[in-house]
Amino acid sequence: MYIKGEWITLARNFPVNNPANGEQIGEVADGERQHAVIAIEAAANALPAWSSCSAYERSSALYRAHQLMMERQPQLAELMTREQGKPLKAATNEVKYAADFLLWFAEEAKRIYGETIPSARSDQRFLVHKQPVGVVAAVTPWNYPISMLTRKIAPALAAGCTVVLKPAEATPLCAIAVFEILHEAGIPAGVVNLVTAADPAPIGLEFCTNPLVRKLTFTGSTAVGKKLAQDAAPQLKRVSMELGGHAPFIVFDDADPVHAAKGVSLVKFLNTGQACISPNRIFVQDSIATAFIETLQQRVEKMRAGDGMDPANSIGPLVNQVAVDKVDRQVQDAVAAGATLHCGGKRLSEDGLDKGYFYAPTLLSGIRPDMLIYREETFGPVAPVITFSEEDDVLSMANDTSYGLAAYIYTQNLSRAVRTFEGLQFGIVGINDINPTSAAAPFGGMKESGLGREGAREGIEEYLETKLGGFSI
């Protein structure tokens, strides 16, 4: 763990395993609730000095961290592939994405603007001032184990906040590597703190109930997000949540079905489908469904699963056995209810894959609303295709979910694109675009997919309070 600028070891540790082969690749300190208390106190003590630093000083520290992360991109990517499982190319791209947040908020630190407001009284002046919210507690996920850290840490530090972070228990080594960079970048002692633990519940409860923590930021499942928000509510803490998704991918009949199928194959199977913005329901207008499914099947059948260190492999492992069981349960339920299985549909065990958590890239069609996969977030390498006839029908079907994170549209009709973009109840919509994300763009969802936004100008506002001064002169 990293608390008050020092690395701390404990007698009790927990192992970290490679999900591709089950091998132990390290072990980390198994922290308890008392360590969260110590880390929060360290952050609170460091807050006055850090928040008093000039914006340019905070910016310089983030610039240094960005430079170090890019210098270590190959090593960080390899560590991520071994610890999380994603192919090395995808891990390399994630490190760049993570560094982008350090760079973006190094710049935004110098753009925290206030304003003056005219008064009806000639002897009065109004001054609006932005100041850091205080100590921030952050909980990050395993599926993007480096970029999700910088997406929270960078704006918090830029705003003048101090941070205590608990990483996912499946990927603590990536978090340690990030904090090594922050340490070497010269972030002062206590400004950033890392608490690792095999059991996240006690740490999360301390984050929610400790009065020194003024903001909680979480990325993970909707169920856990609701629990954390409930625990934080009595103190009215600031809360931001990036939660689950159930993204629709809509292909209209004026789109090129081959081009659309290629697009969905890239984004659906990214990170083995373990992404909150992964398409979970693929709606295809019936007149082009056959061509779309044929192309998608050809591409899915060519995908090769295996250890991410092998560049020939494009599909990595799922995170654990629970994830494998969930994916298989959805597939078997759909097939039993009449869905057509075009390829995949089973756990992979040949050629040594039985040592890891691999599931075959899967394509289903004939999906109906009464099937589990239609309602539940999959978080795995399964592409379920649903056909539709009318534009109004598909908009209603796409919005028929409690989630509202990401959605995708393929069409060449500008009017249809605008109508659908405006009608979809989702925070992020890609129009003929499978990657509508960037450090410069706001990321977040509606409904039960979260609260607040990360990245962009909006990202730093999540860590700032607005203070009004009324001056009588």
pLDDT tens for 110-152 read 999 999 999 999 999 999 999 999 999 999 999 999 999 999 9
Give the model's pLDDT for residue 291: 97
Rounded-to-10 torsion of CA 88, 91, 97, 103? -90
Give the pair of three-digit tokens for residue 439.
Answer: 């450090």
Residue 436 belongs to some domain of the structure: no
Give the model's pLDDT for residue 356: 97
Residue 437 belongs to some domain of the structure: no
Nearest of 269, 255, 339, 341 to residue 299 by alpha carbon: 269
Shared-domain flag, residues 457 and 383: no
Residue range 8-50, pLDDT digits in tens: 999 999 999 999 999 999 999 999 999 999 999 999 999 999 9
Shared-domain flag, residues 299 and 198: no
Q: φ, ψ for residue 430 (rounded to 5)?
A: -95, 120
Cα 95 to Cα 424: distance, rounded to the nearest angstrom: 31
- Assess contact for 157 and 186: CB atoms under 8 A: no
Residue 317 belongs to some domain of the structure: yes
Give the model's pLDDT for residue 445: 97
- Assess contact for 339 and 332: CB atoms under 8 A: no
DSSP 438-453: -TTS-B--SGGGEES-
Shared-domain flag, residues 427 and 457: no
* Measured CA distances, 426 to 63, 398, 407 (Å): 33, 10, 6
Name the pairing type of β-strands 213-219 and 238-242.
parallel
Give the model's pLDDT for residue 2: 98
Shared-domain flag, residues 314 and 214: no
CATH number of residue 453's parent domain: 3.40.605.10
**Per-residue pLDDT band at 264 (split at 50, 70, 90):** very high
Position 3: which residue type? I
Give the pair of three-digit tokens for residue 213.
Answer: 């923590």
Q: What mean pLDDT value characterizes the chain?
A: 97
- Percent helix, strand, coil in the chain, to 5, is 45, 20, 35
Shared-domain flag, residues 257 and 269: yes
Give the model's pLDDT for residue 226: 97
Q: Where are the beta strands (DSSP E) in 104-210?
A: 115-117, 124-132, 135-139, 162-166, 192-194
Shared-domain flag, residues 466 and 408: no
Q: Hunting for tokens 């060449």 — which residue is that?
A: 412
Q: How many domains does the chain have?
A: 2
**Per-residue pLDDT band at 268 (split at 50, 70, 90):** very high
Q: Hunting for tokens 């903001």 — which residue is that?
A: 215
Strand partners, 443: 454
Contacts of 49 (CB under 8 A, 6+ apart): 188
Residues of the chain above pLDDT 70, percent: 100
Our answer to whether residue 242 is catalytic in this structure is: yes
Shared-domain flag, residues 233 and 263: no
Residue range 203-224, pLDDT digits in tens: 999 999 999 999 999 999 999 9
**Per-residue pLDDT band at 101 (split at 50, 70, 90):** very high
Shared-domain flag, residues 325 and 362: yes
Give the pair of three-digit tokens for residue 103.
Answer: 């760079």
Give the model's pLDDT for residue 425: 98
Name the pairing type of β-strands 2-3 and 6-7.
antiparallel
Exactly one of 94, 276, 461, 462 is catalytic; which is it? 276
- Assess contact for 281 and 386: CB atoms under 8 A: yes
Residue range 395-436, pLDDT digits in tens: 999 999 999 999 999 999 999 999 999 999 999 999 999 999
Nearest of 166, 157, 80 to residue 112 by alpha carbon: 157
Residues of the domain holding 63: 2-243+447-472
Residue 441 belongs to some domain of the structure: no
Residue range 374-383, pLDDT digits in tens: 999 999 999 9
Q: Where are the beta strands (DSSP E) in 230-354?
A: 238-242, 247-251, 279-285, 340-343
Q: Hunting for tokens 């984004």 — which residue is that?
A: 267
Helix (H, G, I), strand (E, B) or coil at 373: helix
Helix (H, G, I), strand (E, B) or coil at 298: helix
CATH number of residue 356's parent domain: 3.40.309.10
What's the count of helices (H) and strands (E) in the chain, helices before strands? 15, 20
Q: Hunting for tokens 């699963």 — which residue is that?
A: 305
Residue 438 belongs to some domain of the structure: no
Report the residue count for the chain. Answer: 473
Shared-domain flag, residues 236 and 322: no
User: How many other C-beta atoms can be found within 10 angstroms of the C-beta atom of residue 20?
Assistant: 26
Residue 439 belongs to some domain of the structure: no
**Per-residue pLDDT band at 368 (split at 50, 70, 90):** very high
Shared-domain flag, residues 17 and 154: yes
Give the CB-side neighbour count of residue 44, counting CA atoms within 13 A.
Answer: 13
Strand partners, 279: 247
Residue range 289-316, pLDDT digits in tens: 999 999 999 999 999 999 999 999 999 9
Shared-domain flag, residues 136 and 218: yes
Give the model's pLDDT for residue 60: 98
Shared-domain flag, residues 113 and 203: yes
Residue range 330-363, pLDDT digits in tens: 999 999 999 999 999 999 999 899 999 999 999 9
User: What residue spans of 3-72 are helical by DSSP H?
Assistant: 33-52, 55-71
Exactly one of 41, 94, 206, 242 is catalytic; which is it? 242
Helix (H, G, I), strand (E, B) or coil at 301: helix
Give the model's pLDDT for residue 24: 98
Contacts of 123 (CB under 8 A, 6+ apart): 472, 473
